[in-house]
Amino acid sequence: MRYFKILCTIMIVTIFFWSLKASAGISGSKHDFHSASWNTNGEICQPCHTPHNASTVEKPLWNHQLSTQSFTVYTSTTTDATIGAPSASSKLCLSCHDGVTAIDNFGGRTDGVITMGSVGTGSGNLGTALTNDHPVSFAYDAALFAADAGLKDPASAGISPLLKSGKVECSSCHDVHNTANRSHLLVVSNASSALCLTCHNK
Amino acid sequence: MKIRVILQSLFIILLFLIFFINLNSQRISTTKHNLSSGGSGTIKASSESEICIFCHTPHAAKPRNPLWNRDDPGITYSLYQSTTLHASLGQPDGSSVLCLSCHDGTIALGKVASRSTNITFNSGITTLPSGRSNLGTDLRNDHPISFLYNAALAAANGELRDPSQLSGGVTLSNSKVQCTSCHDSHYSIYPSFLVASTQRSGLCTNCHIRTNWSTASHATSTRTWNGSGTNPWPHTSYTTVQDNACENCHNPHNAVTPVRLLNQSGEENNCISCHNGNAASVNVWNEFASTRTSKHDIASYLGVHDMAESTIPSSKHVECTDCHNPHQAASNSPAATAPNASRLLRGVKGINLSGNAVTNVSYEYEICFKCHSSASWRQQAYITRQIVQTDTRLEFQSNGPSFHPVAAPRGNSEVPSLISPWSSSSYMYCTDCHSSADATSSQKGPHGSIYSPLLKKRYKLTETNGQNNNDATDFALCYTCHDRNTAGKGILQNMSFRYHSSHVVDEGVSCSTCHDSHGISSSQGNSTNNSHLINFNTSIVSAYNGVLRYDDTGVYHGRCTLVCHGKAHDPYTY
C-alpha cells in the first residue's frame, strides 16, 4: 500500500509540473501589444476588449473596428464542407488579420493607418483572399463527417472542444490569448502534426 | 491484497502512459509519406516533427489545392506515347503536379513554402533519391495521367470500362485520370499507396477490361518462376503468373520499354523471360535456338512490329505477338480441330480466305495469310515451278484444281495412302507441316526447325540422279499422313501412280519434283494438268519438244510429257 501511495504521488507531481510548463498567457506573447507605438495607453487587452461601451454587435466586449472587407473563401473539388463568409469569432480575428483594417482602429478610433499589410507581419497577414487558407466558419457536423472519409467524427472527444457552435473557426486551432505558449498560438502542439490529425483522418 | 495492489498499480501506470504518450493511430504517420523525423521510412527529416507540412500548410498556401505548401516544378515533361493510345495527353495537371513536385526528383523534399529555409533530411538527402518512386521528368515510361477518361475514350479504346462503371477504389478527378486515381498519398493499405491490390491486377482491371482476359493463361496460370535467368517479375512480390497478371509483362512506372510499359527490352524478351522454361511449362525459346536454321526469327527484329500496324504489315518482321495475343491466349484445351484456331491463338487478327482482314481469327491459316499472302515483301518461291504462285492464300482456295485441305476439305477419293484418321473429308493445319521440329514438344507452333522451310519433319527437296531414296526419313514429313509402304495403301505400293516406287526409291526423285504441296490456284491451273498437286519443279524437270505437261486421264491414270535428268518422257502414260 505504501508503494501504491508513492507511485501516485510521483505521478501527481509529474502532472503538476507538466501543467505548469504549459501555461504562459497573453503577456509577452505576440498578441501583447502594450509596448507597441500605436497602443498609446500601453494596455494589453484594450486593442481588442473594453469593459465599457463595447461593440453592441460583437462579443466579448469587443473594442476593435470590424473588417468591412468581403472575403474570398477557400474552394476545392475535394472539400465537402459548406464554407461561408467568415463569421463569429473568426470575423474578429480578421479585423486585424485581413491586412486592410488598421490595427490601431480600436476604442472608437477610425483614422488609424497601420495595417498588418503595412507592417509586413508575414504569414499572419491573411489578406482578403482566403483561398489559400484553411477554411473557417463551416459546420463540422455528422453530415460532413459522413461525406468526407478523410475526417474524423466531430463528436469524438478531441474535436468537440475545438468547435465553436459546431463550427470550425480560427479559434479551433489558435488560442488568441496564448494560454499554452505554443508557436503560432496553437491550441495543441503540432509536433507530429498532432493538431492537423486531430480532425483529419489521414 | 498484494495482487490487488499490483493490478491497481498497473492500471494507473497504463493511464499515465496514455496521458503522456501520443498514441498515434493515424495512418499517414506509419507510411513512407511521413517524412518527419519520426517517420518510419528511410527518407526522413533530421529534426522537423510535423508530418503534414511537407505538402500542406494552413495559411498562405500555394495556389493549388488542397492548401499546398510546395512550388510547382514548372517542368515540361516528356509524355507517354503509343500508337494505340486513344487518350489526349496534356502536361500533368491537377493534383498530379503536386505529386511530381517531389516525385520528378527536381525539387528538394524539404523546400516548403511555410519554412524560410529548407527542412533538412537525414543522410544529406535533398531531392528524392533515384529509385522506383523517382519518375524523373521523362514520363514516357509511366502510365499516362492528366487525361480525360470519358465514355468517348472508353468507346474509342474498346477495352476500357465506361468511367461511370468504375468501382473498387479507382477514382477520377474532374473526369481525369491522375496519380490519385491509383494512389492515395495518405494511406498505405496496399503497397505503394495504391487504392486497390495489384494481386491478379485487381487495380488495373478497374479500368482495363480486356476481352477474354479472365480465362487467359496469363490471368489463370499458377506457374512459378524457378529462380533461373532473368527475373520475369522484377517489380512485384507476387510469385505466380496468375498473381502477377498484367505485371507479367507491364510495369506502370519506369518501364524498361516505354511504349506499352513493358518489363523487358526487346519485344520477345517479355515473353521469353517466362517461356524459356523458367516459368512456363514449355520451353518455347528453345525452338528458336541457333541450330534451328529455319524459323520465325523473332530475335532479329526490333522496333518494327507495332500493335497498330495494318493486318498485312507494311514491313517484314515477326514477333511473338504477331501470332499470339498475350491478353487472350489460353491453353489449347479442349483441343481445337482443323481448321479452327487454337485458344493459343485467340484474339489475333488475320486475313481470311477471301483476303479480307478479320479482327479475331476463326481459322489458324488466317494468321499465316497476314504475311504469306499478298504482302509485297513476302517470301519468294522456294522452289521454281511451272506455275509460280507466292500468294499462299490463292494456293488453298477451294475452287483450285488441287490443294492440301487447309481451307477446305479436298473430297478427293483418289488418295489411298491416307493414314487414319485422315480422310478425304479432313481439314489440316498449316502447322501440320510447318512447325517446330521437336518431337518432345507439345507445342505445334511454327517457331523454328532444323528442316527448311520451317518443316516439322524432314522433307528432302533436292535430288541427285540415281541416288537411292529408300529411306523412310527422306520424306518423313509426307509419310506422317501418307503411308509409305503398307500393303494395300502405301505410296511405294504404287496404287495411285504405278511408278511411285521407281521414281522415289530407284531414281531418287523427291516428292517435291512433281508435287506442289500447297496447291495450284484456279486462275493458273486446271483439273486436267494440275490434279494431284502436279506442278513440276522446273529446276529438275524440263520440256520435251517444247511441251512440259501432265494430263490426268482418269482414276489412277495419266500422261507425262517432259524430260527429267535427261530422260525423255515422250510422253509416258500410266
Residues 6+ apart with CB under 8 A from A77: B65, B173, B174
Instruction: Please state, in angstroms and rounded to a whole number, the distance separating the CA atoms of residues B561 and B569.
Output: 5
Contact with chain A for residue B171, Cβ under 8 A: no
* Residue B309 to chain A, least CA–CA distance (Å): 41
pLDDT band at B413 (very low <50, low <70, confident <90, very high): confident
Residues 34-63 of A with CB under 8 A from B: none
Q: Is B51–A8 a contact, with Cβ atoms under 8 angstroms apart?
A: no
A133, A150, A192 ranked by CB distance to B58: nearest:
A133
User: A15: which chain B residues are within 8 Å (Cβ-Cβ)?
Assistant: 19
B51, B65, B174 ranked by CB distance to A192: nearest:
B51
Contact with chain A for residue B174, Cβ under 8 A: yes
What confidence tens digit (pLDDT) does each residue in B272-285 have?
A: 999 999 999 989 99
pLDDT band at B56 (very low <50, low <70, confident <90, very high): very high
Q: What is the pLDDT of residue B2?
A: 62
Instruction: Please state, in angstroms and rounded to a whole number, the distance separating the CA atoms of residues B167 and B552.
Output: 69
Q: Is the pLDDT of residue B46 over 50?
A: yes
The residue of chain B with its CA nearest to that of A18 is: B20
Residue of B3, B20, B23, B65 to mutate for A, most A C-beta atoms under 10 A: B65
Mean pLDDT over all residues of chain A? Answer: 87
User: A8: which chain B residues are within 8 Å (Cβ-Cβ)?
Assistant: 12
Local structure of B283: helix, strand or coil: strand
Question: Taking the mean position of all CA atoms in its chain, how far away is CA B562?
Answer: 49
**What are the strands, taking DSSP E only, across B80-124?**
none
**HSE-up (13 A, CA, CB side) for residue B290:** 0
Contact with chain A for residue B114, Cβ under 8 A: yes
Q: What is the pLDDT of residue A21?
A: 46
Q: What is the pLDDT of residue A10?
A: 67
Percentage of residues in chain B having pLDDT higher than 70 = 93
SS3 content of chain B, % helix, strand, coil (to 5): 25, 10, 65
Residues β-bridged to residue B540: none
B5, B16, B22 ranked by CB distance to A11: nearest:
B16
Q: What is the pLDDT of residue B167?
A: 83
User: A121: which chain B residues are within 8 Å (Cβ-Cβ)?
Assistant: none
Q: Which residue has the higher pLDDT, B3 or B148?
A: B148
One-letter amino acid for residue B414 of the chain: E
Contact with chain B for residue A129, Cβ under 8 A: no
Q: What is the pLDDT of residue A93?
A: 94
Instruction: Please state, in angstroms and rounded to a whole number, the distance separating the CA atoms of residues B566 and A2.
Output: 127
Q: Is the pLDDT of residue B168 over 60?
A: yes
pLDDT band at B4 (very low <50, low <70, confident <90, very high): low
**What are the strands, taking DSSP E only, across B288-338?**
294-295
Q: Which residue has the higher pLDDT, B522 or A183?
A: B522
Contact with chain A for residue B58, Cβ under 8 A: yes
Query: What DSSP string runs through B363-386?
Result: BTHHHHHHHHSS-TTPPPPSS-BS
Query: What DSSP string runs through B120-156?
Result: PBGGG--SPPSSTT---SBGGGS---SEE--HHHHHH
CA separation, residue B429 to residues B311, B339, B340, B402, B491 (Å): 21, 6, 9, 16, 22
Residue of B11, B32, B59, B116 to mutate for A, most A C-beta atoms under 10 A: B59
Percentage of residues in chain B having pLDDT higher than 90 = 84
pLDDT band at A179 (very low <50, low <70, confident <90, very high): confident
Q: Is the pLDDT of residue B6 over 70?
A: no
Q: Is the pLDDT of residue B181 over 70?
A: yes
Phi and psi, residue B286, nearest 5°: -60, -25
Residues 6+ apart with CB under 8 A from B139: B77, B78, B79, B80, B92, B145
User: B22: which chain A residues are within 8 Å (Cβ-Cβ)?
Assistant: 192, 194
What confidence tens digit (pLDDT) does each residue in B394-410 have?
A: 999 999 999 999 999 98
Instruction: Please state, in angstroms and rounded to a whole number, the distance separating the CA atoms of residues B454 and A113.
Output: 94
Q: Give the torsion through C-alpha atoms of B94, B96, B98, B99, to 10 deg.
A: 170
Q: Is B59–A196 a contact, with Cβ atoms under 8 angstroms apart?
A: no
Contact with chain A for residue B137, Cβ under 8 A: no
Query: What DSSP string runs through B216-260?
Result: SHHHH---B--S-SS-S-TT----BHHHHGGGGTB-SSS-SBTTT
Residues β-bridged to residue B147: B177
CA separation, residue B461 to residues B335, B477, B508 (Å): 32, 11, 11
Q: What is the pLDDT of residue A30?
A: 87
pLDDT band at B19 (very low <50, low <70, confident <90, very high): very low
Which grid coordinates belong to B351? Answer: 486475313
Q: Output the CA torsion sign for B261, B264, B270, B274.
A: negative
Q: Is B22–A194 a contact, with Cβ atoms under 8 angstroms apart?
A: yes
Contact with chain A for residue B40, Cβ under 8 A: no
User: What's the DSSP call for residue B175?
Assistant: T
pLDDT band at B189 (very low <50, low <70, confident <90, very high): confident
Contact with chain B for residue A78, Cβ under 8 A: yes
Local structure of A11: helix, strand or coil: helix
Q: How do A138-139 and B402-403 pair as beta strands?
A: unpaired
Q: What is the pLDDT of residue A98?
A: 93
Contact with chain A for residue B557, Cβ under 8 A: no
Q: Record the pTM.
A: 0.84
Q: Is A190–B50 a contact, with Cβ atoms under 8 angstroms apart?
A: yes
Instruction: Please state, in angstroms and rounded to a whole number, the distance separating the CA atoms of residues B233 and B249.
Output: 8
User: What's the DSSP call for residue A86?
Assistant: -
Contact with chain B for residue A150, Cβ under 8 A: yes
Instruction: Please state, in angstroms and rounded to a whole number, the distance separating the CA atoms of residues B521 and A42.
Output: 111
Q: What is the pLDDT of residue B21?
A: 42
- How confident is the model over A58-72, as a mean pLDDT? 92
User: B29: which chain A residues are within 8 Å (Cβ-Cβ)?
Assistant: 192-193, 197
Contact with chain A for residue B32, Cβ under 8 A: no
Q: Is the pLDDT of residue B15 over 80?
A: no
User: A82-96, B158-172, B276-290, B435-449: which has the minimum mean pLDDT?
Assistant: B435-449
pLDDT band at A117 (very low <50, low <70, confident <90, very high): confident
What confidence tens digit (pLDDT) does each residue in B82-100 have?
A: 999 999 999 999 999 999 9
Q: Is B66–A78 a contact, with Cβ atoms under 8 angstroms apart?
A: yes
User: B67-71, B121-125, B438-442: which has the minimum mean pLDDT?
Assistant: B438-442
Q: Is A134–B67 a contact, with Cβ atoms under 8 angstroms apart?
A: yes
Q: Is the pLDDT of residue B10 over 70?
A: no
Q: What is the pLDDT of residue A120?
A: 64
Local structure of B455: helix, strand or coil: strand
Contact with chain A for residue B53, Cβ under 8 A: yes
Residues β-bridged to residue B563: B542, B568
Q: What is the pLDDT of residue B13?
A: 56
User: B12: which chain A residues are within 8 Å (Cβ-Cβ)?
Assistant: 7-8, 11
One-letter amino acid for residue A109 of the chain: R
Instruction: Please state, in angstroms and rounded to a whole number, the distance separating the CA atoms of residues B439 and B474.
Output: 17
What confidence tens digit (pLDDT) does each residue in B122-146 have?
A: 999 999 999 999 999 999 999 999 9
Q: Is B26–A197 a contact, with Cβ atoms under 8 angstroms apart?
A: yes
Is residue B337 within 8 Å of residue B429, measured between CB atoms?
Answer: no
* Residue A133 to chain B, least CA–CA distance (Å): 4
User: What is the value of ipTM here, to two decimals?
Assistant: 0.82
Q: What is the pLDDT of residue B26?
A: 40
A75, A132, A193 ranked by CB distance to B61: nearest:
A132
Residues β-bridged to residue B537: B385
**HSE-up (13 A, CA, CB side) for residue B462:** 3
CB pairs under 8 A between A and B: 83
Residue with cell string 509529474? A14
Q: Is A190–B66 a contact, with Cβ atoms under 8 angstroms apart?
A: no
Q: Is A134–B59 a contact, with Cβ atoms under 8 angstroms apart?
A: yes
Q: Is B9–A173 a contact, with Cβ atoms under 8 angstroms apart?
A: no
The residue of chain A with its CA nearest to that of B30 is: A202
- With b for 16 or more beta-carbon neighbours within 10 A and e for fewer, the B314-341 pattern comes to eeebbbbbbbbbbbbbbbbeeebebbeb
Which grid coordinates belong to A149? Answer: 472519409
Which grid coordinates belong to B411? Answer: 473430297
Q: What is the pLDDT of residue A78?
A: 86
A76, A192, A193 ranked by CB distance to B65: nearest:
A76
Which grid coordinates belong to A6? Answer: 508513492
User: A22-31, A52-61, A182-191, B194-203: which has the minimum mean pLDDT?
Assistant: A22-31
Q: Report angle CA B156, B160, B162 to the nearest 5 degrees.
A: 90
**What are the strands, taking DSSP E only, across B336-441?**
350-351, 357-358, 402-403
Q: Is B16–A202 a contact, with Cβ atoms under 8 angstroms apart?
A: no
* Residue B76 to chain A, least CA–CA distance (Å): 25
Contact with chain B for residue A19, Cβ under 8 A: no
Q: Is A132–B67 a contact, with Cβ atoms under 8 angstroms apart?
A: yes
B52, B60, B174 ranked by CB distance to A132: nearest:
B60
Q: Is the pLDDT of residue A25 over 90?
A: no
Is residue B532 within 8 Å of residue B402, measured between CB atoms?
Answer: yes
Phi and psi, residue B78, nearest 5°: -80, 130
Q: Is the pLDDT of residue B5 over 70?
A: no
Instruction: Please state, in angstroms and rounded to a whole number, the distance separating the CA atoms of residues B439 and B411.
Output: 30
* Residue B326 to chain A, least CA–CA distance (Å): 39
Q: Is A11–B49 a contact, with Cβ atoms under 8 angstroms apart?
A: no
Q: Is the pLDDT of residue A1 over 60?
A: no
Residues β-bridged to residue B568: B563
For B284, left (φ over 0), alpha (ψ -120 to 50), or beta?
alpha
Radius of gyration of chain A (CA): 20
Instruction: Please state, in angstroms and rounded to a whole number, the distance separating the CA atoms of residues B420 and B415.
Output: 12
Mean pLDDT over all residues of chain B? Answer: 92
